[in-house]
Amino acid sequence: MIEILLMPFALKALFASALISVICAWSGIFVTIKNMAFFSESISHSSLAGIAIALWFGFDPSVFLVFFSVAVAAVIALVAQSSIASRDSVIGIVHATIMSAGIILLSFLRGGNTDIARYLFGDVLAVTSTDLYICSALFVLAAAYLAKFSTTHALTCLTPELAKLNGINVKKYDFMLMILLALIISVSVKIAGAILVTALLVIPSNAAKNISASYNSFVLLSVITGLTGAVAGVAASIFLDFPTGPSIVLLNSIAYFASLFARNYLKISI
Amino acid sequence: MEISVAGVSCRIGEVEILKDINFRLESGSFAAIVGPNGAGKSTLIKIMLGLLKPDGAEAKILYDGVDVAEVNKSRHWLGYVPQNYAFDRSVPITLDEFFKITCRAEDGDKYNSVLESLNLFKLKKHIMGGLSGGEIQRALIAYNLFHDKRVLFLDEPTSAIDIEGEALVYSILNNLNKERKINIIIISHDIDAVLKNVDTVVCLNKTIHCMGGACEILEGSMIQKFFEGHRGLYQHGGCHHR
């Protein structure tokens, strides 16, 4: 039975999920500290409009989505900087605008529903070699960026006022974080689906936060949770014939509630 | 470091926060800005830190003749300990990690001696979110020391801590001022603490009402007149000159 996991489609799915989940769990640390779950949610939901545009014009949705998501993040950042509304309100406005345009566009599309459903719910078992290259490129790029700038982001997220006094351009780093998250989300949509992709960013880091006694264990436990959820989720979906994205997310959710129990009742702190 | 503030005004919408503020603080001074609630004290120090821009192009804030914009761009001399340090107490980060991430501090004699001098050494492995108000204040002072700040602004440094903690914070500040020659500027409502610790007092209520030596300003009738009709002034005893 284990041989099925060694088949090319399963190996591709495992590899892609592992890469995406690790990078989501790592960057999810900043989503958690900066309360950016709504931003992540809006980028992932807006991707449906991106897919509609790609299908309308005949572009490759996977590739087009990367550019589209980065553009949406940039629009949110620019509108937030030039508006007196709170960032949450701006995200809500931009998100609703893009979603509405996307839904109108989708209503004109005929025969594109299979692709839409794939992006809505995720379909990691149908990952192609091109998708795998995109995932690998994202992993290398995002991991290199996080390795170089994660301390600066930690500083700007934890103490923005003090960071500013030390000559750090907090707005620039906030913008860079939004762009990074948009890139990660745009590639992850194919794995977990637009509806669930925020879960990959938010759940592992919050599960880790529950039982971490230091920042180092916060980061490490988040990555371990994300990776375990991905591998076990893909395996479970193959063996039990469950949809893959929801399987990964549900396993992460189990880890979250287990860590909550461990924190509140077992007083575990690592 | 000599500090010069000239022609600083600030208006938010129709509300005038500060009007034509001019004063000079000598190098190595320990000064307090006092005034009733809403006097513009926090706004003034944020402008002096370069975090807020004053109205008009003629306003100048100079540190040894260097404009605050230049100071912040190239030499980060200016330290700040906010009144309420807003941070997410649920983030699992130890004090040790906080300093290593935010200050890039490295283990060594200097690192340990700063922590020892601020009674923080034994708290190194504690989670930041579990520290008391006084411990957070001392951690933020340490943060500024690791960055070798030459001017330190503290907004109500003892408002969230008990009497014992307050004495410790002031003894640390006095030590930094005397030993390290760091200019210290505090905002305080506690006149007794100001009398005991600072050498210069600036009385602010949208504009400068009076300025001078602590005893001279705070012992005279000027301060009573200044605070007349305002709440929020704590006065316990007489003048204890530094």
* Res B217: pLDDT: 72
Domain hosting A110: range is: 2-264
C-alpha A53/C-alpha B52 separation (Å) is 43
CATH number at residue A191: 1.10.3470.10
Q: In this structure, are B131 and B38 located in the same domain?
A: no
Which ipTM did the prediction report? 0.81
Query: What is the identity of the amino acid at B55?
Result: D
Q: In this structure, are B188 and B101 located in the same domain?
A: no
Any domain includes A50:
yes
Report the gap between the CA of B215 and the closest CA in chain A (Å). Answer: 33
C-alpha A6/C-alpha A55 separation (Å) is 33
Residue B166 has pLDDT above 70, yes or no: yes
pLDDT (mean) for A90-105: 89
Q: How many domains does chain B have?
A: 2
Asked whether the beta carbons of residue A218 and residue B87 sit closer than 8 angstroms, the reply is no
Asked whether the beta carbons of residue A151 and residue B92 sit closer than 8 angstroms, the reply is no
Q: How many domains does chain A have?
A: 1
Q: In this structure, are B72 and B184 located in the same domain?
A: yes
From residue A177, alpha-carbon distances to A94, A154, A235, B73, B92 in Å are 18, 11, 32, 23, 21
Q: In this structure, are B184 and B231 located in the same domain?
A: yes
Please tell me if residue A152 touches chain B, with a CB cutoff of 8 Å. Answer: no
Q: Which two tokens stand for residue B185?
A: 């500027």
Residue B184 has pLDDT above 90, yes or no: yes
List pLDDT tens digits, range B46-75.
Answer: 899 888 889 988 888 999 888 887 766 655
> Which residue of B78, B84, B102, B154 to mutate against A (max A Cβ within 10 Å)?
B102
Q: In this structure, are B158 and B217 located in the same domain?
A: yes
Residue A220 has pLDDT above 90, yes or no: yes
pLDDT (mean) for A20-47: 92
Any domain includes A270:
no
3-class SS shares of chain A: helix, strand, coil, % to 5: 85, 0, 15
Listed residue (A269, A203, A178) closest to A29, CA to CA? A203
Mean model confidence pLDDT for chain A: 88
Q: In this structure, are B8 and B53 located in the same domain?
A: yes
* Cβ within 8 Å of B, A 197-226: 209, 212-218
Sequential DSSP letters for A111-171: S-HHHHHHHHH--GGG--HHHHHHHHHHHHHHHHHHHHHHHHHHHHHH-HHHHHHTT--HH
From residue B133, alpha-carbon distances to A24, A132, A159, B47, B161 in Å are 34, 50, 16, 25, 6
Q: In this structure, are B38 and B124 located in the same domain?
A: no
Residue B149 has pLDDT above 90, yes or no: no
List pLDDT tens digits, range B30-46.
Answer: 999 988 888 899 899 98
List pLDDT tens digits, range B89-133.
Answer: 889 999 999 888 877 767 777 788 888 888 888 998 999 888 888
Q: In this structure, are B138 and B164 located in the same domain?
A: no
Core vs surface per residue B165-194: b (16+ CB within 10 A) or e: bbebbbebbbebbeeeebbbbbbbbbbbbb
The sign of the torsion formed by the CA atoms of B159, B199, B116, A214 equals positive
Domain hosting B143: range is: 85-149
Exposed/middle/buried for A245, CB within 10 Å: 0-12, 13-18, 19+? buried
Q: In this structure, are B25 and B97 located in the same domain?
A: no
Q: In this structure, are B142 and B25 located in the same domain?
A: no
How distant is the alpha carbon of residue A55 from its chain centre?
22
CATH number at residue B227: 3.40.50.300
Q: In this structure, are B93 and B44 located in the same domain?
A: no
Q: Which two tokens stand for residue A225?
A: 């949770």
pLDDT band at B229 (very low <50, low <70, confident <90, very high): low
Select from B149, B164, B194 the last residue of a domain. B149
Q: In this structure, are B157 and B104 located in the same domain?
A: no
